Amino acid sequence: MSTPSGNLAEAVAVAPETASAPSGFKIFNRIVDWITNERMQLINITDRINDIVRKSGVRDGVVHLQSLHTTTAVFINEWQDALLHDVRAFLDDLIDRESYWRHNDPQYSDCERRNADSHLRGMLMGQTLCLQVRNSAVLLGTWQSIILAEFDGPRSRSLSIQVSGV
Amino acid sequence: MSTPSGNLAEAVAVAPETASAPSGFKIFNRIVDWITNERMQLINITDRINDIVRKSGVRDGVVHLQSLHTTTAVFINEWQDALLHDVRAFLDDLIDRESYWRHNDPQYSDCERRNADSHLRGMLMGQTLCLQVRNSAVLLGTWQSIILAEFDGPRSRSLSIQVSGV
Amino acid sequence: MSTPSGNLAEAVAVAPETASAPSGFKIFNRIVDWITNERMQLINITDRINDIVRKSGVRDGVVHLQSLHTTTAVFINEWQDALLHDVRAFLDDLIDRESYWRHNDPQYSDCERRNADSHLRGMLMGQTLCLQVRNSAVLLGTWQSIILAEFDGPRSRSLSIQVSGV
């Protein structure tokens, strides 16, 4: 089942930094960590990203999200329990954990996590997402939520967030 | 079949705004609406985006496209009728509308559109696209067109376009 | 098998250009060509991108990669031989070259390359990638490599690289 972001241990790992040019063009960087507790887990990070955008002082620009782990992803979808169940079922079915994968075969690979499926899911869904910032908030349609996907948990995961603009 | 963009009702929904820093760094924002007329429909928006880039006054930078709807996508491909047919067939086959999806089951979901397939297609293909701007035009290879995909039409769809740079 | 980037013929196609605003906001553009030698080939371009970022003079910002070809992709994954084998097997299996595709049918298409599978793979995996730049280097997690994928080689392929920020 999906986990509300409120249940997650969350900590700011790195002090925020702002690189400001004389012009008013600003870049604000922050790394946020999440501790996940399931192998495949979807986390709604929309509110957290909006907090950071608000604090960045950027009114108009973009926010760029980059997960630092190959077996994760960041994407947009509606945050509804039934649909999140379908998302997990779809990814489970499309990339079968139990198929033969060379990455899981000790004859070819020194990886002991047997997580080829996690790598393929992360690659397919993508580890970066760039969204517009308007009026000091992330621009999102009514049904759009920002989702961080864990594909090889439980683990601690870092997301680098960069807000830039004027 | 694919619909040439000229057949679409299209309206500028929001007056363009330019946020210009003293330095010459510029951000130009615009929202454009398209009215779609099929459930799955591919729209070639390349010319429309190039018009907006030209008007933005940005010579060198990026154009960021963000659809405001979870059941749409924005991506690049060649604009050829036979290939567009294959794109629709591939997505139809990969994510079967008639499979059991919890999002379509009244026992679990209050969504009456029965559009789990549309959500999964939108998630997979992505609702954002960032392209380079060079010499006041979108940088595109010979065969690259910008495609807005409707996965749950007919509806009115908004695309937010941000051009930034110098 | 995967090809180490050192084996590839590689040439800078276009002289680099920097568009600098008085503020310190900089844009640095470069096009790099790769000559591929297999139909499906994965190329580790991480070091090449880091070289360009270092030369750009941008300390803090983003690097945007855009392949100029519909039958290629740019994405992130771990660079491990066994896993790269799985990536190719997964894409081969998901989009079968031998299925009927209208793009390959002379009755519907004037394309003689019979490369519908290449187009669908390029569309699914995406031809653009935007990554953060921190301290004059591409921000990447321990296991993240930047991969350029050829889906219809052997050919010469151009990647446009834009570094921007302060």
Q: Binning pLDDT at 50, 70 and 90, where does residue B8 land?
A: very low
C130 touches chain B (CB under 8 A): yes
Q: Tell which residue, B102, B82, B103, B79, has the closest CA to residue B152.
A: B103
Identify the pLDDT of residue A20.
52
Q: In the prediction, which pLDDT does C30 show? A: 97
* CB contact at 8 A, C33 and C158: yes
> Mean per-residue pLDDT for B151-165?
98
Q: Which helix (H) or strand (E) holds C48?
A: helix C46-56
Which residues of chain A have a pLDDT value below 50?
1-16, 22
| Residue A64 and residue A128 in contact, taking contact as beta carbons nearer than 8 Å | yes
Give the closest-approach CA distance of C50 to chain A in angstroms: 16
Average pLDDT over residues C23-44: 95
pLDDT digits (tens, 9 = 90+) for C64-112: 999 999 999 999 999 999 999 999 999 999 999 999 999 999 999 999 9
Interface B-C: count of C-beta contacts within 8 A: 109
- Read off the pLDDT of each residue in B60-67 and give the average, rounded to a whole number: 98
* pLDDT one-digit tens code per residue, C108-138: 999 999 999 999 999 999 999 999 999 999 9
Percent of chain B past pLDDT 70, that is, above it, reads 86
C150 CB contacts (<8 Å, ≥6 apart)? C36, C38, C39, C40, C41, C42, C43, C71, C72, C157
Q: How confident is the model at residue C24 (pLDDT cuts 50, 70, 90)?
A: confident
The chain B residue lying nearest A166, using CA atoms, is: B21
The confidence band for B19, taking pLDDT boundaries of 50, 70 and 90, is low
**Percentage, residues of chain C above pLDDT 70:** 86
Q: For CA atoms B74, B78, B79, B83, give the dihedral sign.
A: negative
pTM for the whole thing?
A: 0.90
- Evaluate whether A74 touches A129 at the Cβ level (below 8 Å): yes
Average pLDDT of B37-65?
Answer: 98
Quick one: average pLDDT of C36-57? 98
Asked if A19 is an interface residue toward chain B (Cβ–Cβ < 8 A), one would say no
Cβ(C30)–Cβ(C14) below 8 Å: yes
Query: Which of B86, B130, B132 has the CB atom closest to C120's CB atom?
Result: B86
Q: Which C residues, 98 through 127, put their C-beta within 8 Å of a C-beta on chain B?
A: 101-103, 105, 108-109, 111, 116, 119-120, 122-124, 126-127
Interface membership of A132 toward C (CB under 8 Å): no
Interface check for A22 against chain C (CB to CB < 8 A): the answer is yes
Q: For chain B, what is the mean pLDDT?
A: 90
A69: contact with C, CB 8 A cutoff: yes
- Cβ(C49)–Cβ(C31) under 8 Å? no
Tens digits of residue pLDDT in B79-135: 999 999 999 999 999 999 999 999 999 999 999 999 999 999 999 999 999 999 999
Cα(C4)–Cα(C7) distance, rounded to whole angstroms?
A: 6
* Chains touching chain B, criterion 3+ CB pairs below 8 Å: A, C
Is C166–A102 a contact, with Cβ atoms under 8 angstroms apart? no
Residue B15 has pLDDT above 80, yes or no: no
Q: Does C139 touch chain A (CB under 8 A)?
A: yes
Q: What is the pLDDT of residue A56?
A: 97
Considering only CB atoms, C165 lies closest to which of A27, A103, A128, namely A27
Asked if C164 contacts C58 with a C-beta cutoff of 8 angstroms, the reply is yes
**pLDDT in the model for residue A12:** 36
pLDDT at B24: 79
pLDDT of A23 reads 57
Number of C-beta neighbours around residue B4 at 10 A: 10
Contacts of B66 in chain A (CB under 8 A): 131-132, 139
